[in-house]
Structure 1
Amino acid sequence: MPSTTFDNLKTDKKNLVTQALLQEFSSYPLAQAQVARIIKTAGISRGAFYKYFTDIEDAYLYLYSTAMGEIHQNIKQNLSTPMVAADYLHYTEAFLDNVANNAYRQLIRLHFMQNEGLLNRVQPPVDVARVKDTPANAWAAMVLTHETLRQILITPELKSSLLAKLTASLQALERIDA
């Protein structure tokens, strides 16, 4: 994650660097991304880049985390009641709507298509307690939902079919739980 130096940058400069990262990581897979293009676009020195980030992967993880935070920001979830199939579908569609008209869309698509497997670090870290405390059906619904999102972002032409399969799967999980 970025250094405190980056965190303390003036908003304009921080936004300029973030936009340069977005341009690079939306245009090139992580394996082909170049610090040289990022620093040229951002108008910073190579030394400044490495003062802000440990390496290009660190910069990528910062941007991806920022993207996920912004996309999830408007999706409200009531954690006090168990989710039902309709809730998972609602959140899936809300996520897809948030991504559809978002500057991070291509970044996320490239993440799922090429970058995810290249990362040396698991991001975000697994919350062991949450996994242990989550009922099996809820865990299965979360995994199905996230995999459906991943597949839709990779192959948008399958959206209707994948959402239909998700709906049927979630309803089957509800019947098992009943």
Structure 2
Amino acid sequence: MPSSTFENLSPAKKQHVTTALLNEFSRHTLADAQVARIVADAGIARGAFYKYFADLTDAYKYLYRTAIQDIHVPITRTDHLLSAADYVQQVQEFVTGINGSPYRDLIRLHFKTNEGLVNRPPVEIKIHSAQEWAVMVLIHETIKGCLLDPANATAALDRLRKALQKLL
């Protein structure tokens, strides 16, 4: 978590640091990221970086959480499960949104490499049935596949549609 010092920065300075983090973590894995490049890009002192974040992992978690909050559009939840076609359309729109966002490379590197390097806090998702859980897992794996292998996104979406038709 960023420090209160970071949270109390002016919006412009906070955005400048966040942009420098995005530049670094969109081009380099967490293991290869360097504070030196971030501080040079942000125009801040190295000591300031450590006043804002405990370490690179802390900075990465902050940026990833920020990205997810900016791009995440929840798949529609209603009192009942949707049709396979509705879910596939929502996934396709979500993937298209990520591909058109400044976070595209960050998210791809996250799925490709960084996901295994950071401990994720448990996320509370209210799942009512095994069927809902299966739909959620299929959707998330399809999103990951579409982002990591865009050339086969159509096949991944078709596979999702077929699996959901059998499941629903």
User: Could you tell me how far apart the structure 2 residues matched to 1:82 and 1:71 are?
Assistant: 25
Q: Secondary structure at the match of 2:9?
A: coil
User: Could you tell me how far apart the structure 2 residues matched to 1:77 and 1:100 are?
Assistant: 17
2:123 is matched with which residue: 123, 126, 130? 126
- Within a 5 Å distance, the mapping from 1:1-178 to structure 2 comes to 1-72=1-72, 75=73, 78-84=76-82, 85-119=84-118, 121-123=119-121, 125-127=122-124, 130=126, 133-174=127-168
User: Could you tell me how far apart the structure 1 residues matched to 2:14 and 2:30 are?
Assistant: 21
**Structure 1 pair 25–89 and aligned structure 2 pair: CA distance change class (3 A):** same
Give the letter for the 2:56 counterpart. Answer: I
Q: For 1:75-129, what per-residue CA distance to the aligned partner results, in whole angstroms no more than 9, with x for missing partners?
A: 365534223223322321121121111000000000011111111x214x232x7
User: Could you tell me how far apart the structure 1 residues matched to 2:115 and 2:52 are?
Assistant: 22
TM-score (norm 2): 0.93
Q: Secondary structure at the match of 2:2?
A: coil
Flag the structure with higher helix content. 1
The number of residue pairs the alignment matches comes to: 167
Percent identity between matched residues is 49
8 A contact 2:108–2:148 mirrored in 1:
yes
RMSD: 1.5
TM-score (norm 1): 0.88
Give the letter for the 1:118 counterpart. Answer: L
Q: Secondary structure at the match of 2:79?
A: coil
Which 5+ residue runs of structure 2 have no aligned equivalent?
A: none
Give the letter for the 2:150 counterpart. Answer: P
User: Could you tell me how far apart the structure 1 residues matched to 2:104 and 2:25 are?
Assistant: 11
Q: Secondary structure at the match of 2:31?
A: helix
